[in-house]
Structure 1
């Protein structure tokens, strides 16, 4: 047994529990059906977990371009893994019948890919996700589908498509019949499977007016359906996607002391009211190089870099989208290298951090949808405020190689307040000069909740005592075990 890990986990759990337990996290009376309330876990069904052997047709785990065997039943088996990290939504990618493991070369929109499982198994997965308060989303590729697509093989459909350079086909979305067929395929799917979101992909050369027509039809089918894309578009999607976001955040967080002047660029239009669409916040995605690669290229320790990046991502304005495998520092530069099978036998350091981080985020409406103000941003030291009428948070991101200090003026916090740090268990009081002095060690993110000044934190002291009791009990148990073995 790893004694150090056991002790550190016990200490962190008790202290975090005591801090949250004595601090009321406000739940504003707002419309909770806002996509900013979600944090999305992005997976590929084939690469996640292979549970059922019944759908293992011609799989070859040694061929990076082949199907590897992951299925709906495999994701169903690992729901607790996703839930424990606090994600509120899972994106399954394209699940339609396809000639490729990523589901992009669609053969038939009316069928699910048999390598992934059956229609019944997909329905069961979605039902079980909902039981665990996790929403589901699927990709709907509009273009770049298989040349053997069912529609292309029908008579009198030569004007429905054009052949692309890669021997796939693109639909003629100016054709009213094609438009209706695509809309019917998408609306029929959500009616049958009750998914909570659709991500429209492969939008190149697709008219914005048609995309809006499709979005409108989808939302008429289900008014609470999220419709997003992973490509830039002027259409009426629920989030704004900017492909430069990944490069921006990889450059800031891949190393310490990096230029962080552009940290606001992805979400600034939303914060300034220039758009009503929140931003997709990402450090990588299924089509980019992994964040781990960027950190490793700098000779940095990827798990630490990932935790700092996620700490910022989960507390900034927007919708965090995290690629599967980030929690195990999965590496790679290009697909298919970046689409390695998920390994569930690795250390849980990042997963534990995500669990604590999202536990706070999911309980605080303010951290998800509250107002934002950047107070400090200089070479990796970022301090910002998330606030609403109900509560106020100060987030300090020390992405440097030294312990940093930052003074908050009482005009920001108010008089006779306390700042309660949730992860480093620091309680900051107003000093004699009226300032609040924050101190944070290198490569850490801290969330301070602003509260009225209190006396001695009795629950905190009890929790701290409990840690010592647990530690002593652990040592006694080890000694007894050793004595019993010696006697035996």
Structure 2
């Protein structure tokens, strides 16, 4: 069984590498946030790479620090890189009283549980060498009541309210505004990060947030600035509270209403808004796995369909750590489990294949979008440019389903080449391209001129079996050598 999976994975990788008619973004092209995909992780919950900072770590209490650190991010970066993510959002890195960085006590000091400032710089530099950038959360308010500013009697007027141990700054106070701006500028000039996510922005007016964005962009024009709250400010990507619920309510089960799929995609397509952050999971909510399991569904299958929409619809994919291993849990610490690196990797390889397509095709990121069918979970859409044409089909229903696409839509003498299962579809006698998918299956087709045999697939398959035969020969040869040695000893 494992060898069969190895054959499929190896063949798919070779086919994907041989199937593109265009390359990924060149160094000369301008990169935008719509070219990126964001992997959201909590430093403390990823990997414990060094015991030097395990201060009062308690892995048995989910509310306490668990030992994950900057060194762990460096040691396990290959997993994130292989999945094709280009931005790694690591939450707040400032001195904090809680593992998730939600009780910040300083805007200058780095949390010692995570490591030193030098180790943080190493994370940034190491990921940059692997073509990934680091994004960090900066909370504008709701920090610990023990924050160094809150302990300064001269800054008493800066505090608007205190609740549950958290301080809410008066974000209309000009002194607070200036101090926050200075802290932000000092941080981004000290650390060459690729992005900032402004959090806890309630109470800050749009004009002030825009001034922060303008100031940061002046320091680093390539810096991406987003938020995890709704705002009319000039963020690089738009956040909508409802997005998470829309996508999880479409994909947590089969045959569900998918009419809202493009609710926050359409404004971007119409040129009225910047791209939306597209996600089906969130660090603030129940895990998607939790919701799909409550529906008595098999989470990995549900996740495959959700990933296809997240990665191929126009927008900015945001994926929570652990979704690729079907991490479970209710909202809060239970949903922030320590990452298990010994789980099945089927979903991980699936994401690798999807991301390889997305990263190597600018058309799948920026091409013209057209929805062909969207009926209760059966979704088919095209992405087209002068260089390439693609068809994405998601059958998130309980039965085999199909879509007939006319030659006027696809073109004459074309064929659809499946990237995941290597299907080939050509026009039938009625002049239609009939795409039939089994239940709960996703396929991505490249639309190309008809060219007969799938040479790349045959070559890939032949290479795989040549490797297998060579492997068997080596095993047999080694077995004979061992028997010869054993006979000689006798």
Decide which of 371, 376, 384 is 1:379's aligned counterpart. Answer: 376
Unpaired runs of 5+ in structure 2? none
The structural deviation recorded for 1:299 is 1.1
The structural deviation recorded for 1:455 is 3.1
The structural deviation recorded for 1:478 is 5.3
Decide which of 172, 175, 181 is 2:173's aligned counterpart. Answer: 175
Q: How does 1:358-377 map to 2 (within 5 A)?
A: 358-377=355-374
2:177 is paired with a residue whose SS is helix
Q: Quote the Cα distance in structure 1 between the aligned partners of 2:13 and 2:431.
A: 28
Q: How does 1:246-325 map to 2 (within 5 A)?
A: 246-275=244-273, 277-325=274-322
Root-mean-square deviation (Å):
1.8
Q: Quote the Cα distance in structure 2 between the aligned partners of 1:250 and 1:178.
A: 38
The structural deviation recorded for 1:382 is 0.4
Q: Which whole-Å deviations, capped at 9, do the CAs of 1:210-249 have from their partners, x for residues lacking one? A: 1111111111111111000001111111111111111111
2:181 is paired with a residue whose SS is helix
What is aligned with 1:45?
Answer: 43
CA contact (8 A) 1:12 1:423 kept: no
What is aligned with 1:334?
Answer: 331
Unpaired runs of 5+ in structure 1? none
The structural deviation recorded for 1:69 is 1.1
Aligned length: 484
Q: Quote the Cα distance in structure 1 between the aligned partners of 2:114 and 2:267.
A: 39
1:334 is paired with a residue whose SS is coil
2:154 is paired with a residue whose SS is coil
Q: Quote the Cα distance in structure 1 between the aligned partners of 2:458 and 2:206.
A: 59
CA contact (8 A) 2:145 2:162 kept: no
What is aligned with 1:12?
Answer: 9
The structural deviation recorded for 1:20 is 4.0
The structural deviation recorded for 1:462 is 2.1
Q: How does 1:4-153 map to 2 (within 5 A)?
A: 4-18=1-15, 20-25=17-22, 27=24, 31-153=29-151
The structural deviation recorded for 1:407 is 1.2
Decide which of 352, 355, 368 is 1:355's aligned counterpart. Answer: 352
Name whichever of 23-32 and 451-460 sits farther off: 23-32
CA contact (8 A) 1:15 1:464 kept: no
Q: Which whole-Å deviations, capped at 9, do the CAs of 1:253-292 have from their partners, x for residues lacking one? A: 11112111111112121112222x1010111111011000
Q: Quote the Cα distance in structure 2 between the aligned partners of 1:319 and 1:384.
A: 17
CA 76–23 in structure 1, closer or farther in 2 if over 3 Å, else same: closer
Decide which of 228, 238, 241 is 1:240's aligned counterpart. Answer: 238
CA 331–314 in structure 1, closer or farther in 2 if over 3 Å, else same: same
TM superposition score normalised by structure 2: 0.95
2:431 is paired with a residue whose SS is coil
The structural deviation recorded for 1:206 is 1.8
Q: Quote the Cα distance in structure 1 between the aligned partners of 2:438 and 2:22.
A: 25
Q: Quote the Cα distance in structure 1 between the aligned partners of 2:387 and 2:75.
A: 38
TM superposition score normalised by structure 1: 0.95
Q: Quote the Cα distance in structure 2 between the aligned partners of 1:69 and 1:423.
A: 38
